[in-house]
Amino acid sequence: MANQKGGVAKTTSTVNLSAALRERGKRVLTIDLDPQSNLTMSFGINPETLERSMFDVLVHRVPIADVIHQREVDVAAASIDLAGAELALASAIGRERTLEKAIAAVRMDYDYILIDTPPSLGLLTINAFTASNGVIVPVQCEYLSLRGLVQLESTLQMIRENLNGEVRIEGILPTMVDKRTVHAREAIDLLTENFGDIVFKTRIRKSVKLAEAPVRGGSVLSYQPDGPGAMSYRALAEEVLSRDE
Ligand X SMILES: Nc1ncnc2c1ncn2[C@@H]1O[C@H](COP(=O)(O)OP(=O)(O)OP(=O)(O)O)[C@@H](O)[C@H]1O
Binding site for Mg ion (CB under 5 A): 10-11, 38
Tell me the C-alpha to C-alpha distance, in Å, between residue 116 and each of 16, 186, 194, 227.
12, 28, 25, 24
Smallest distance from Mg ion to CB 35, Å: 10
Count of residues that bind ligand X according to CB under 6 A:
18
Burial 45-62, CB ≥16 within 10 A → b, else e: bebeebeebbbbbbbeeb
Q: How do beta strands 112-116 and 74-76 pair?
A: unpaired
Residues 6+ apart with CB under 8 A from 4: 119, 120, 121, 125, 148, 151, 152
Nearer to ligand X (CB atom), residue 60 or residue 180: 180
Which partner from the list Mg ion, ligand X, none does 202 bind, CB cut-off 5 to 8 Å by kind?
none
By CB under 6 A, tell whether 219 contacts ligand X: no
By CB under 6 A, tell whether 228 contacts ligand X: no
Nearer to ligand X (CB atom), residue 118 or residue 240: 118
* Binding residue (CB under 6 A) for ligand X from 175, 202, 219, 224: 175
Nearer to Mg ion (CB atom), residue 145 or residue 192: 145
Nearest of 213, 173, 204, 209 to residue 41 by alpha carbon: 213
By CB under 6 A, tell whether 8 contacts ligand X: yes
Burial 179-199, CB ≥16 within 10 A → b, else e: eeeeebeebbeebeeebeebb
Residues in the chain: 245
* Binding residue (CB under 6 A) for ligand X from 17, 20, 31, 34: 34
Nearer to ligand X (CB atom), residue 97 or residue 239: 239
By CB under 6 A, tell whether 203 contacts ligand X: no
Helix axes 146-162, 182-195, angle to 10 degrees: 30
Which residues on adjacent β-strands are paired with residue 175? Answer: 140
* Binding residue (CB under 6 A) for ligand X from 146, 169, 211, 235: 211
Residues 6+ apart with CB under 8 A from 154: none
Which partner from the list Mg ion, ligand X, none does 127 bind, CB cut-off 5 to 8 Å by kind?
none
Do 36 and 124 form a contact (C-beta atoms < 8 A)?
A: no
**Among the residue ranges 149-157, 181-189, 204-212, 236-244, the one whose residues contact ligand X (CB under 6 A):** 204-212
* Binding residue (CB under 6 A) for ligand X from 22, 71, 206, 234: 206
Nearer to ligand X (CB atom), residue 199 or residue 204: 204
Site residues (CB under 6 A) for ligand X? 6-12, 34, 36, 38, 119, 175-176, 204, 206-207, 210-211
